[in-house]
Amino acid sequence: MNGVHDMGGMHGMGSIEHEKNEPVFHAAWEARIYALTRVLRAGGGKGNLDASRHGIEVLPPAEYLRMSYYERWVARMVGQLVSTGLATAAEVESGQPAPGSAKALPALTAAMVPEMIARRNSARRNVPATPHFKVGQRVRARNINPAGHTRLPRYARGKVGVVVRDHGVFVFPDTNAHFLGEKPQHLYSVRFTGRELWGENASRRDVIHLDMWDDYLERA
């Protein structure tokens, strides 16, 4: 979807500040929110990484810009808890189960956590899928404006690049985020010149590589 979260290529957002020796978490609550997010995604059965990303994209623009990184995670998590029926808004606010609510057994126990942490989930799929493009081929990023989740940045839409690598078959985020199926397809690294993306004022030496699925591309 189009939104304030898609900041690539936008002007006026300020410089990127690099914090020397930046810690993984700046406060204990950030680590707790990270852990809770991992637990819910692993044990709830009602979410995936793409749906989580979309949960942040739908935050009101003013709130998105005001919030820190993990404050957005908190807002996303609360929204998903309520929308998936894992908890009510009142239960989240009070921290207590509603009177008479059924007691649920956790899908993820403490004993299962070390294995969960060690195991990295992958969006790669070992299924047959015909590639629509090949290395060295000129392609154009489709000029689309989907209402739902997409990983196709606005600044690349309608621009021409060259396929430099076929990564293999991966879950398609646009459908997976809305639980419409994984729709596995080939994922490519596409090389765009800076001048193609930003115009003649860009350096001739600048290039950007974007990972793009079959459904994002068309022949140039």
Condensed to tens digits (0 to 9), the pLDDT of residues 61-75 reads 999 999 999 999 999
Q: Where does the pLDDT of residue 45 fall: very low under 50, low under 70, confident under 90, or very high at 90 and above?
A: low
What span, in angstroms and rounded, lies between the C-alpha atoms of 157 and 56?
A: 22
Determine the Cα–Cα distance for residues 7 and 9; give it in Å rounded to an integer: 6
- Position 9 scores a pLDDT of 77
Residue 135 — very low, low, confident or very high, per pLDDT cuts 50/70/90? very high
**CA 46 to chain CA mean position, Å:** 16
Cα 107 from chain centre? 24
d(CA 80, CA 86): 8
Q: Residue 145: its pLDDT value, please?
A: 94
Structure tokens belonging to residue 7: 């900041």
What tokens were used for 207? 């290039």
Dist CA 25 CA 21 (whole Å): 12
**Closest-CA residue to 163 (of 140, 138, 187, 132):** 138
Tokens of 31: 């680590």
For the chain, list the domains and their CATH numbers.
Answer: 28-118 (1.10.472.20), 138-219 (2.30.30.50)
Q: Is the pLDDT of residue 1 over 70?
A: yes
The residue among 118, 138, 124, 202 whose CA lies nearest residue 170 is 124
Nearest Cα to 164, choosing from 216, 207, 195? 207
Helix, strand or coil, per DSSP, at residue 190: strand
Q: Could you read off the pLDDT of 200-219 as tens digits, one per residue?
A: 999 999 999 999 999 999 99
pTM: 0.88
Q: Residue 80 pLDDT > 80, yes or no?
A: yes
